[in-house]
């Protein structure tokens, strides 16, 4: 699997503010790269311990959804991840090439009838962990999930 990356940062001797972009084919092997990159960037933004881990978990959920549900594991489709960070703030976008979905049809995983379901917790986890989670869906250009977290 190849991962294309670009990054930049501002600041004299540290990377307290910056951007990073990664693009990769729709393969679950990308999740390890996303996990490590997100942990590193969350720490650069000043998040530590469990909070940095929770941010990484939200990103893994978003990228998993992009790979599995958006791009349907198609090796011909790409997932694009963009990070932006600064002191006490983390933002990320995950873009797939899928046709989107109806948010009103997403099940509540806390519903007792759904609590043992094998899937369906990703959006719930993202919303619990992050301060904002926004979806922009277009049938022709794909879906972008934008998430933010501030201290």
The residues, ordered by sequence, that sit 6+ positions from 19 with a Cβ below 8 Å of its Cβ are 7, 8, 9, 82, 83, 84, 85
Number of domains in the chain: 1
pLDDT band at 119 (very low <50, low <70, confident <90, very high): low
The alpha-helical segments, DSSP class H, found in the chain are: 30-44, 49-65, 122-129
**Given this model, what pLDDT does residue 99 score?**
87
The reported pTM is: 0.85
**pLDDT tops 80 at residue 120:** no
Q: Which of 16-20, 40-44, 56-60, 114-118 has the lowest mean pLDDT?
A: 114-118
pLDDT for 130 equals 98
pLDDT tens string 121-148: 789 999 999 999 999 999 889 999 999 9
Q: What is the pLDDT of residues 36-94, one digit of tens each?
A: 999 999 999 999 999 999 999 999 999 999 999 999 999 999 999 999 999 999 999 99
Token duo for residue 11 = 């600041």
* Residue 116 in tokens: 């043992």
Residue 115 buriedness (CB in 10 A; 0-12 / 13-18 / 19+): exposed
Please state the three-class secondary structure of 101-115 as a single string: CCHHHCCCCCCCCCC
Tell me: pLDDT of 102 over 70: no
Contact 47, 151 (CB under 8 A): yes
Q: d(Cα 127, Cα 110) in Å, to the nearest integer?
A: 13
Checking if the pLDDT of 12 tops 70, the result is no
99 phi and psi angles, rounded to 5 deg: -90, 0
Question: What is the rounded CA–CA span in Å between residue 20 and residue 43?
Answer: 14
CA neighbor of 146 nearest in space, from 82, 83, 100, 92? 92
CATH of the domain at 30: 3.30.565.10
- Residue 114 pLDDT more than 80? no
9 falls in which pLDDT band (50, 70, 90)? very low
At 108, list the tokens: 């509540």
3-class state of residue 94 by DSSP: strand
Domain containing residue 73 = 4-10+17-150
């Amino acid at each position: 699997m190849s991962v294309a990356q670009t990054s930049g940062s501002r600041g004299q001797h540290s990377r307290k503010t910056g951007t990073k972009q990664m693009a990769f084919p729709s393969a679950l092997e990308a999740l390890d790269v996303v996990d490590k990159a997100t942990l590193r960037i969350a720490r650069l933004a000043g998040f530590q311990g469990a909070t940095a881990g929770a941010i990484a978990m939200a990103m893994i959920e978003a990228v998993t959804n992009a790979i599995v549900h958006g791009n349907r594991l198609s090796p011909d489709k790409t997932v694009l991840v963009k990070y932006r960070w600064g002191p006490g703030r983390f933002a990320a976008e995950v873009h797939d090439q899928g046709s989107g979905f109806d948010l009103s049809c997403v099940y509540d995983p806390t519903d007792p009838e759904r609590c043992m379901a094998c899937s369906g917790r990703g959006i719930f986890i993202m919303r619990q962990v992050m301060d904002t989670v926004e979806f922009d869906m277009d049938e022709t250009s794909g879906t972008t999930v934008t998430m933010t977290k501030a201290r």
